[in-house]
Structures are given as C-alpha cells and as structure tokens.
Chain A
C-alpha cells in the first residue's frame, strides 16, 4: 500500500450562497485548492475524482463535477454517506491511490442546503435519513441528536452551561475565519437565553444552514515531490456504523459509530488519542462535541466537560478543538463538511492556519450523523512525518 499525501486544499466560504449555484461553488473551491499547491497542479494531472454530495442539487452530481471542471476523460465517482460523506470521499480516494490505481486524485465535497425553501427543508432532508413508515412522520429533525443529549445530561455531570461553552469557544475561533458563516462573539448567558429549538438545544447550540464546497488534491508518495516539499500525510481513515433507528441503539450517551470509526483510524495510523495535537470535531450541535471528546478517546466517559472547564480544547490549550469555528459557526453542507475540516487541518499542519495551533504535527477530523448511524475519522500528519 502506497502512502497518500494531501498537497493542496481549498474551499469556498460556508454561507447562504443564494447567488451561487453548485456549478459556481465547485470551480471556486477547486481554484482555491489548486492555488494552494506549492509547485502548481494541472487539471490534466488528475487521474480520478471522488465527489461527496448528500443532495443532488441541479441533478446528477458526478456529471456536474465533470462538466464544471472539464474532467470528462477521468472517472468521477459520487460518494454519499450522510454526514460522513466528505470523509468517505477522501477515504475512497486514499484507497484508489494506495492501491496503485491512480497517482493524483481530486476529492471534492459540496452541498447546497439553501436551494430549498426554509419551510420545505425539514421534510426534504428528513426523507433522506429516516424510515418512511416509522420515523419520518414523527418529525424528528434535530430531535435525533437531542434524544442522545437529553439522556447524556441525565447520566453525566455535564450541564447546558458546558454545551454553551462549546458555542462560545467555537464562535470565538470563527471571528478570525473568513470562511465561517456565523462570525460574532457570544457569552454563555446569551447561548442559554436563546430560543429553544429542540430541548436541550437552543439556537446557538445548533449550526446555521449553509452552502459550500471544498477540495483536496491527493497524491501518491511516489509523485509528491512534483507538487510540494511540505505534504500533509493521510495516516488513518475510519468509517463506523450504528443502528439507523434510535430505538435500536442501546446506549444513547455515546455514539457507537464514532468509537468504531476512531478505532479503525487510530489502528491504521498506529497512533493513539494522546498523539493528536489539533482536532476538528463534529459540533453540529454543541453537545455532540462533548460526547465526541469521550468517544474519540480524549476524555474518560462522562468527563468530557472537564476539557472545557480546564480550557484544554481552546486555541492555546493542549488539544485545541475546532479552531476553524467548527460546524457550529460554519454550518454543515454535508458533502463539503469533512473535506473542509481537512482543509483546516492541512493549514494547521503546515503552520498557515488563521488560528494557528503552535507546533501542531498531528490532526484528527471527525463527523457523525445522519440518524447518528455513521461516523468518519481521518487522521493527518504534517510535513516531515
């Protein structure tokens, strides 16, 4: 198996791109990515492309990517894996390069949530993730994750204040990130006083609805020198699952899919949680970040809140989490999210991030979602690794 490196990474801002279609966002993200390749990249270098998109905005996703970038001569594969879509596109490209099937692969992710009217969004996206007869008519929406969080708050010492601390931290990080959607400071009191969406989540515990695209250029170690002297290596990937229906999950205080994905990723990387210097963790709802500290092995069970109290996960702490501002401020166009997390880590591990973590050498990115039934973990290591 060949080693695989990221040599270029770029993204559009995550925002309500009413004026830009998916055919605009894809070339924008690709150009941003191509510009980051130290020694340049030609479109003709690309041997294959993997495109993560959960929705089918404007139709057939693979064809739209091939059309917008003029990549009709190489295979383009659309990947859909709910909230883990972006990471799974990366994982598939890694397999393609590692196997020797291709040397240079393009990974893109994009989704447009704001193509649907606000009032139609819920039922349209619910239909992609719920059993049509059983769960769909209940109107789960944000309640799927909330069912976990309610039970977690019941069993653990964590409180809504700790959830609010996640929003405060991630909003502070977003202030410096021009790619984030919600860029203003918050206080714990403001988070707690906001309108309730679904108990125990208030408005600021939830991510904004945004559109966006992100891109990575992945290459084999054999050819990495053509593109950069500072590659970021993909050390491990993992994709884990759990029961689709909430009534079939035995313990809602933890995400089994995350634990499975992390085990795979750390296993292939030959690393442990203590080796991670910076992480982008799924914080579509604030509380998920806290549970994920535990599922990813950064904290003991029911002790995730201690990392927040001690400032461990702030930029400047020993394990900064979501220095980009996270999903909580960027939003979550699912195809793009995991790819964009790796854009942030690419910059962190090359020392170029807006909220740079000093000496960051190893980074982890994580998504969990859909009906909390799938999770992905990708572990990256900086130049010289």
Chain B
C-alpha cells in the first residue's frame, strides 16, 4: 500500500478562478514540471515518473526527456506517459511503488498536480474500479473533439450508474465531474476543484491532505471510475497557485513559421532545459551557455562540468516588443536577468504577467516554458516570472 510523502500543485495565472487557461508559452509538459517541482520541494528521491493526461504533446518520445530535465531528474529514470483522466491518475497512484512521482495534467481547465510516493506519509489504498463505455466525448486522430451533447445521460448512465456498480456508498470527495455535481455526490467536498481531468484527482487529494480528511476519494471520467481510500497520515502540500487574471485581449499572434535547427536544439538541450552552465575545473567562472575554451597558449579545453544555475534573479534591463512578430504572441517582454550569486546573466522572455509590467530591479524566478513552437517542434527553455505582480497585489488587497 503506497504512502504519499508530498503533493505539489500548479495553476496557470490566466483565465478565471473556475477555469484556468494555460499561457501561450505553456503546455502539458511545462505544467507537469511546475507541479512536479512543487512536490519535490519537500525533498525525497524519485525512481519512477508517471505522467497522466489526455493533452500530452504528440512529440513521439521527447516528452519524457523534457519532463526529466525540467524536474532535474536523472535521464535514466523510467517515465510512463499514461492516457487518461482522474481514474487513471488514481490507478497510477494506487499501484505505484515507493519513490514514484505521479503527475496529472490538464489543459481544459488547465492545471497540474503531482504526488510523490514514499515508505511513509499519507496512506492510500485502492478501493474501487469500474470501466464502462459511454463515450460522450471523443477525439479524432488530429485531436478534434466531438461532444455527444447530453450531460443528463452522462450523469445518470455514466458516473451515477458506475458508482452504484462499484458499491461505493458515499465518496468523501469526487474528482472529474462538474463542481456542482461533485458537491451533491460527496460527503465532505469542501472546495471546488480547479480541474476535471487527470490532475483533478490529485487536487482532491491535496485538499484532503490539507484538511485532514479521510475516506473514499473517487476519480471519474465519463462512465469509468477509480477509487482510493485515503487513510491516516500526513503529506506535505506545496501549491503554486497565483490568482487568476483575464487573458489580455490586446495580445495577438500573427501567423508565421519560426524555423528550427534540430542540430542546434539537441546540442543546447541539457543546458537549456536543465538550466545549467559549464565550469572548468580550474575556474570559478560559470559559462552560460557552456562552451569550449582556448587558453592563452592555444591549448583547447573541452572538459567543463555542468553546474546548476540559480533559479532566482534580478532584472538588469527590460524591453517590451510591440511590433507584431510572426509566430509569437505580441506584445511580449524580454529581460536580461542577473542570476543570484554566480555572476551569470540570462536573456529570457517574461512570463506570467502582462507585457511591460516588469521593471529594472524586479525580482523573480526562472521557470521552464515552451519558448516557441518552431517548425512544429515545441522549443523549451526558461522564462522570468516576477515574484510579486501589481495585479496580484491589487486582487489580494
């Protein structure tokens, strides 16, 4: 029986409190990295990663490498990309070995949550499982969604029938159904969950862990469900959830193709996605990006080692591009950031705030984002997210 040591959650700042929207520079992988890093903040080692969702980029094998690099994990780890919603996430958790990081991710509504299993912590055990077919929502090969359009059928012959079949009397918390239905089904559903897909099961688990609730947690997707019994124990919960704000109407994306060199992409990948510089043995200086060195006597030195770069820094200079740039959402801001304590600067785009709202001297963190989609390839790198945002502070006030 697995134990949960820690849970991390992430919500993009765009959209409404009920329905978050992933930023233009976010996708299922970057959302998963945010949630995963939040879960790993508490410490603990990872041996397996399971990524659950129905919105994973169709890159044919690259997602695992980006995910591991973004999480700072060993590229030798096994990553399972699992197609599914809330039941699939609970299935993955119920059968997980210790030191497994299970991440659920959704794009509609957007959010991600991750749970790290361990030998101790919050105890869960599998309680119910039913697979039934009621495909009210389907996707074709190119991802286009077809909706049958009968919510009452879904409710009655979908999850209500499945709950009856599974002999689950009254769940403590239900994930994967609209908020108003969840409240009527569950005994102790205290807060609305921000998502309804794969991540919702872990958002529910986080809420139970924080409130000290025990009992059946049921994840639903159409007419299938999976249930875990949440027992005693504690799990640390770290939330990266900033207030929601509307997507700016003024922003626009001019159509256009940004070319890529996959040779350059591959060479830069480790430093660019793991956020690492290079340092030579005899030197304190960190090169970013790492590079070969020719000494004064003409000798070549290629033996640098990768060193992690700080993920916090201060804005040295900032500009906002207003002229429409084909293939990029404009306006957008660029900053040169002084990374804390290493004498290294980075030129990056600004994320998680309106263009033009970051100033010289502002503090923030460096976060993995999808910098661009170039010739169909998601190009990942880091962006600057300011610490406190004037809009956030207004809303908090």
Interface size class of B (residues with CB under 8 A): 35 or more
Say whether B323 contacts A151, CB under 8 Å.
Answer: no
Would you give 16 A-B contacts (Cβ < 8 Å), ordered by A? A119-B256, A120-B326, A131-B264, A132-B261, A136-B258, A137-B260, A138-B349, A140-B347, A142-B321, A148-B317, A150-B317, A151-B317, A198-B322, A199-B320, A246-B347, A247-B344
Say whether B379 contacts A139, CB under 8 Å.
Answer: no
A136–B326 CA distance with the chains assembled, in angstroms? 13
Q: Known contacts being A134-B289, A137-B258, is A143 close to B349, with CB within 8 Å?
A: no
Binding site for A on B (CB under 8 A): 254, 256, 258-261, 264-265, 267-268, 272, 288-289, 316-323, 325-328, 332, 334, 336, 344-349, 356, 360, 371-372, 374, 379, 381
Say whether A154 contacts B346, CB under 8 Å.
Answer: no
Q: Nearest A residue to B325 by beta-carbon distance?
A: A139
Q: How far is the CB of A125 from chain B (nearest CB, A)?
A: 12
Say whether B318 contacts A150, CB under 8 Å.
Answer: yes
Residue numbers in A under 8 Å from B316 (CB-CB): 151, 252
Q: Known contacts being A123-B258, A147-B317, A198-B323, is A137 close to B372, with CB within 8 Å?
A: yes
Q: Nearest B residue to A151 by beta-carbon distance?
A: B317
Say whether A123 contacts B326, CB under 8 Å.
Answer: yes
Say whether B319 contacts A143, CB under 8 Å.
Answer: yes
A147–B318 CA distance with the chains assembled, in angstroms? 6
A119–B356 CA distance with the chains assembled, in angstroms? 24
A173–B336 CA distance with the chains assembled, in angstroms? 36
- How many residue pairs link A and B with beta carbons under 8 A? The number is 105
Q: Nearest A residue to B319 by beta-carbon distance?
A: A146
Q: Known contacts being A123-B256, A133-B265, A139-B332, is A199 close to B322, with CB within 8 Å?
A: yes
Interface size class of A (residues with CB under 8 A): 35 or more
A120–B257 CA distance with the chains assembled, in angstroms? 9
- Give the top 6 A-B pairs by smallest Cβ distance, nearest first: A133-B268, A151-B317, A132-B264, A146-B319, A133-B264, A137-B372
A141 within 8 A of B: yes
Say whether A151 contacts B360, CB under 8 Å.
Answer: yes
A68 within 8 A of B: no
Which of B325, B349, B356 is within 8 Å of A122, CB to CB?
A: B325
Q: How far is the CB of B357 from chain A (nearest CB, A)?
A: 12
Say whether A133 contacts B267, CB under 8 Å.
Answer: yes
Say whether B321 contacts A198, CB under 8 Å.
Answer: yes
Q: Nearest B residue to A198 by beta-carbon distance?
A: B321
Which of B261, B268, B371 is within 8 Å of A138, CB to CB?
A: B371
A122–B324 CA distance with the chains assembled, in angstroms? 10
Residue numbers in A under 8 Å from B289 (CB-CB): 134
Residue numbers in A under 8 Å from B332 (CB-CB): 139
Q: How far is the CB of B141 from chain A (nearest CB, A)?
A: 28
Q: How far is the CB of A199 from chain B (nearest CB, A)?
A: 5
Q: Nearest B residue to A206 by beta-carbon distance?
A: B323
